[in-house]
Amino acid sequence: MIAPWTATVLTLFPEMFPGPLGHSLAGKALERGLWRLETVDIRAFARDKHRSVDDAPFGGGPGMVLRPDVVDAAIAGIAGRPGPLLYLSPRGHRLDQERVARLSEGPGVRLLCGRFEGVDERVIEAHAIEELSLGDFVLSGGEPAAIALIDACVRLLPGVIGDAAAVAEESFTGNLLEYPHYTRPQEWRGRAVPEILISGHHDKVRQWRQAQAEAATQTRRPDLWQRYLARKRDRH
């Protein structure tokens, strides 16, 4: 049997895992062996008797920086684990659904979670570690970002979501946001469900949803809308 998709996480807080990944969709898939999770405590690779992993920044300034020798030893400790080595960092390339899809098609990921002011630049250079950001905001540590990345990958793994069509239709597929959803009750606080959705005309429903997806993308995310138009133009 081939090994399942594997997430290996380097962290100072292994107790934060699996956390949300142990519940619902991801948790059930973990139990069923559809993916694997391994956490490695960076502190286990500290060299001195105080087990220190960080130190003050050269050049001064606030906060502490994770030492390159300790992080390097932790990376050596996970040699042979599958997947690209990625550092969750606000300085990284912004993670998007396309990248998530590519990562989920591979054998797994190895994730380095920073804390404090981050990681000494030299260890990032020495291992040519790619940096990925969740968005233009600052977290207190890489762990929530790692959990988000893993969650996004795991739900795309074969067999994790029963209905594969759910994944094919959702937001960002083809650079569009998803159309709005409605369920029972059919009327709620004087608001009715759009007529077309109860008409039983599948083609009309599909057209309506496409129009809704386009309208939402155009008004909410002009950046995505431009990419959508560009791709459409390329196809013609």
CB of 132 to ligand SAH, least distance (A): 7
Nearer to ligand SAH, 65 or 216 (CB): 65
Contact letters (x/-) for ligand SAH, 141-180, by CB under 6 A? xx--x-----------------------------------
Q: Which is nearer to ligand SAH, 117 or 151 (CB)?
A: 117
Q: Considering the complex, what minimum distance in angstroms separates the CB of residue 62 from ligand SAH?
A: 9
> Rule CB under 6 A: which of 57-116 touch ligand SAH?
88-91, 113-115
The mark string for 8-47 relative to ligand SAH (x by CB under 6 A, - otherwise) is: ----------------------------------------
Per-residue H/E/C for the chain: CCCCEEEEEEECCHHHCCHHHHCHHHHHHHHCCCEEEEEEEHHHHCCCCCCCCEECCCCCCCCCEECHHHHHHHHHHCCCCCCCEEEEEEEEEECCHHHHHHHHHCCEEEEEECECCCECHHHHHHCCCEEEECCCCCCCECHHHHHHHHHHHHCCCCCCCCCHHHHHHCCCHHHCCCCCCCCCCCEECCEECCHHHHCCCHHHHHHHHHHHHHHHHHHHCHHHHHHHHHHHHHHC
- Nearest approach, Cβ of residue 145 and ligand SAH (Å): 4
Contact between 117 and ligand SAH by CB under 6 A: the answer reads: yes
Minimum distance, C-beta of residue 120 to ligand SAH, in the bound complex (Å): 11
- What dihedral angle (degrees, nearest 10) is formed by the CA atoms of 175, 151, 143, 85? -80
The answer to whether residue 138 forms part of the interface with ligand SAH (CB under 6 A) is: yes
Residue nearest to ligand SAH (CB): 114
Q: Which residues contact ligand SAH (rule: CB under 6 A)?
A: 88-91, 113-115, 117-118, 133-135, 137-139, 141-142, 145
